[in-house]
Amino acid sequence: MSYTEILNTIPDSYFGKTMGRKLEIGKKPLINMAVGIPDKPAPDEVITAMQQAVADPANNKYGVFRGKETFKTAIQQFYKETYNVDLDKDEEICILYGTKNGLVHLPLCTIEPGDGVLLPDPGYTDYLAGVLLARGEHYTLPLYEEKGYLPDFDDVPAEKLDNTKLIYLNYPSNPTGAVATRAFFDATVDRFKETKTRIVHDFAYAAFGFNHENPSILQSPGAKEVAVEIYSLSKGFNMSGFRVGFAVGNKEMIAGLNKLQDHTQVGMWGALQDASTAALKLGQPFLDEQNELFRARRDKVVAVLKENNIPFSPLDGGIFLWLKTPQGYDGESFVTYLLKEQSVLVTPGIPFGERGRHYVRVSLAVDDSLLDAFLERLLEVYLNK
């Protein structure tokens, strides 16, 4: 395949390359523990709103480029009620056709060619594409389990930190399940708010905090001077197929995203916005139910792993277990082994960075019967090693 020079610099998307591929499995029925989307249906209120919105003639015409007032007002109210954060509807909100678009486009709106961008390792695989498209320099932001997978910026060489103009953070973390504290966000904002460095916080798994509610980075004093937060309706509201999210925070970064989307996205379909408005109005009570569902799954999995001395990273939020591979396996070889011997599909840790080489990512987004079957098969593997 012939690509342009700039596309040749970008590695293939791991999930784009692997989703839907034919799998060679063992004799047992396949259990897919690699899917990173909640397994429950979208709320009835969202489906009803979508059905009504599709029939509305106004939604079959061009809409306002930067979003309906009703949707932006719902975002504004949701952030106020959930995080006590005030947002300006016109200057501090950017509606996104899926949060991945915002995460990949942000470097084009924030950095100049040659500027440095800190990417967490382990961290979400597609952050890198945006840096390369913007002709930036990507630097590793190392995350260690002994530090709770929270970065220590002093671990970054001084010359790289001086050239850094954008930092990616993601809590609850995909893939590690680590969470951030308000104190961490306060300290991070305080460190960078007088510099030219900006921060993007990927808040896709905001709903899932098992020991305490997950803080928004925008709750920290001065955060809007330095940070944007990208929120997804896919996970907390079971709306992954709708591809709706939004960015909120720093006015300059939001303005850049909006300007880019004026030329690329040309507004979101009104029916999607109406359905998303209905979701946000469900608010924290619905998200609490989601959190309790995944907390129960977390508790079940962790109890089995601890009882059998199977090593794993603490799972404090999100929907993924970060599981250490048995001795003699890296993530990719263990994925192959699980498929052939147990017909279990998980995700290797290697695509998430070098520090994921001896881990696999396991999704908890399956019903209880499949989760129980997975644990039985996993015990067969670990206890026979």
All residues at 6 or more sequence positions from 353 whose CB lies less than 8 Å from its CB, including other chains: 119, 120, 121, 122, 123, 140
Taking 90 as the threshold, does the pLDDT of residue 322 lie above it?
yes
Q: How confident is the model at residue 3 (pLDDT cuts 50, 70, 90)?
A: confident
All residues at 6 or more sequence positions from 99 whose CB lies less than 8 Å from its CB, including other chains: 202, 204, 230, 231, 232, 234, 245
Mean pLDDT across 53-77: 91
* 330-374 tens-digit pLDDT: 999 999 999 999 999 999 999 999 999 999 999 999 999 999 999
Taking 90 as the threshold, does the pLDDT of residue 11 lie above it?
no
Q: Tell me the percentage of the chain whose pLDDT exceeds 90.
A: 83
Q: What is the CATH architecture assignment of 5-42+284-383? A: Alpha-Beta Complex (3.90)
Taking 70 as the threshold, does the pLDDT of residue 2 lie above it?
yes
12 or 261: which carries more pLDDT confidence? Answer: 261
CATH class of 44-282: alpha beta
Mean pLDDT across 213-233: 97
Taking 80 as the threshold, does the pLDDT of residue 255 lie above it?
yes
Q: Give the pLDDT score at 15.
A: 63
**CA angle at 47 for the pair 101 and 57, rounded to the nearest 5°:** 80
Q: Give the pLDDT score at 277.
A: 97
Q: Choose among 161, 125, 102: nearest CA to 36.
A: 125
Mean pLDDT across 12-41: 76
Q: Tell me the percentage of the chain whose pLDDT exceeds 70.
A: 97
* 111-152 tens-digit pLDDT: 999 999 999 999 999 999 999 999 999 999 999 999 999 999
* 49-63 tens-digit pLDDT: 999 999 999 998 887
* pTM of the full structure: 0.94
Q: Structural domain boundaries of the chain? A: 5-42+284-383, 44-282
Taking 80 as the threshold, does the pLDDT of residue 198 lie above it?
yes
